[in-house]
Amino acid sequence: MSGTERIKAKIIEDAEARSGQILEQARAEAREIMNNALKEAEQKRAEILKKAEAEGMEVYRRMLSEATLEGRKATLSARQDVVESAFSRAMDKLCSLPDKDYQKLLEDMVVDAAKNEDGEILLSEKDKKRVGKDFIKNINKRLSSAGKSGKITLSQDSIKAAGGFVLRYKEMEINSTFEVIIEIMRSRLENDVVKILFS
């Protein structure tokens, strides 16, 4: 082999060795880039999952909080309905007393509410029919026995009420209708009623 051919062969051999090294180095760099890319992708995937999990938990907490609030609202509404029903039934019970007991109740209430002056009692049309002819007479007799000087007469005017009465004295009226009495008692008794119903 001539010197030129040997140089040529040496150059080719060195070039092949060098290209092998370059190729191996390129493959190693490619593997490193690929590994780094996989690690980075895994890290990003973990971060995304963690963020999604945190957001999911926040959505879950919000939904749970809203559901709890709605549950409380529904419970409160149901309790209010039951309390309303209790007061409504009390009104019905008062209004459905037998006529004799109903008249006695009204007489007691009038004697308690009456002032020491002449006045008139206003009843609903229904109650005017329920009370007996002795209603006013009984009231005035009991007022006299209680030491009250005023007399009560039955007004020709009527009121619109489920029951009870209005006492009229000149320019003043005492509203003792069942609606007003129950509303006043409701504000005082509602907490006790709730305790009794839901204890």
Beta-bridge partners for 154? 121
Q: Is 109 left (phi over 0), alpha (psi -120 to 50) or beta?
A: alpha
Question: What residue ranges in 26-145 does DSSP mark as E strands?
Answer: 119-123
Domain limits of the chain? 97-198
Q: What is the pLDDT of residues 33-61, one digit of tens each?
A: 888 878 888 888 888 888 888 888 888 88
User: How far, in Å, CA of 104 to CA of 97, rounded?
Assistant: 10
**108-114-119-123 Cα dihedral, nearest 10 degrees:** -40
Q: What is the pLDDT of residues 175-192, one digit of tens each?
A: 999 999 888 887 776 677
User: How far, in Å, CA of 106 to CA of 122, rounded?
Assistant: 12
Q: What is the pLDDT of residues 78-132, one digit of tens each?
A: 777 777 887 788 889 989 999 999 999 999 999 999 999 999 999 999 999 999 9
More confident residue, 172 or 12: 172
Q: Is the pLDDT of residue 199 over 70?
A: no
Q: What is the mean pLDDT of the chain?
A: 85
- Give 97-198's CATH code, choosing from 3.30.2320.30, 3.40.50.620, 3.30.70.1380, 3.50.50.60: 3.30.2320.30
